[in-house]
Structure formats: C-alpha cells, structure tokens
Amino acid sequence: MAYSDKVIDHYTNPRNVGTLDKSSSKVGTGLVGAPECGDVMRLQIQVDDNNIITDAKFKTFGCGSAIASSSLATEWLKGKTIDDAMKIDNMDIVEELALPPVKIHCSVLAEDAIKAAINDFRVKNGLAPIESEKVHH
C-alpha cells in the first residue's frame, strides 16, 4: 500500500512533537488507543483565558497514518477556540491525508484524542465533559 505525499510529509517531519505540563490547569491531555491494538495517541492542548488553543503537542505510538493524523490534528488545533476544535471531524483528516479505508481508524483515534484533551481541560476547570454523540464503530 502506498502512502499519500501528505502522510509521508507529516510522518517524516512531524509537527509539534512533545509534552506539555499535564498538571497545569491550562493544559488538557487526551490519551487514547491501546498498545495491544497497535496505536496509542497522546494529544495535549494549552488553552488561554479566552478559550483559545495557543499550543498543541502530540506523541503517538502507531503506524505512519496514525502519526500523520495526530501531527495534522495539532496543526489544526492551534489558534482555534475549544468550541471550534470540538467540531473537527475525523473525515476531514481522512480527506486531507487521503487515508485509505483500512486507515480510517487512525483518523477516528485522532478525533477521539482531540475530544479527550478538551474534556480533560473542561473537567480540570470545573466544566462538565461533552459527550460525543457520534458513533464510529
């Protein structure tokens, strides 16, 4: 199976690899996936007082498409409000990276990671987590 140029680009030069201080109240952390399934994503957001995401970092254990999906997600998150970030749909990632059907789960995982990071931030700041209505599986 050949990878798209965009997957290769994100895989070769991943954006925003790193770690934010997960104990900070301004940081939301999402850890999704499982080692047994062959992919684990950790996505973190730094949020300012206006609910704007000023920084995003990731680390991913997984295939090239999983790494590319999370790298792309961090790019998209920066500068967005958390409300807008909540609207990122996995199919947008599929389209941008031209993922084949067998790799759609990588984009689902990235969307889950975004939502998990936002909810972690919300809970830390006394807000209720937002339940996703979308059913992927």
Pick the piece of the chain touching another protein (CB under 8 A) from 57-65, 72-80, 82-90, 127-135. 57-65
Residue 16 vs 46, nearer CB to another protein? 16
- The nearest distance, CB 50 to another protein, in angstroms, is 29
Is residue 38 part of the contact set for another protein (CB under 8 A)? Answer: yes
| Joined tokens for residue 55 | 């920084």
In the chain the first and final C-alpha atoms are separated, in Å, by: 24
- The nearest distance, CB 38 to another protein, in angstroms, is 4
Measured between alpha carbons, how far is 131 from 115 in angstroms, rounded to an integer? 9
CB–CB of 32/109 below 8 Å? yes
Q: Give me the half-sphere count of Cα atoms (radius 13 Å) on the Cβ side of residue 90.
A: 22
Pick the piece of the chain touching another protein (CB under 8 A) from 10-18, 20-28, 84-92, 124-132. 10-18
Decide if 106 is catalytic. Answer: yes
| Residues belonging to the active site | 37, 106
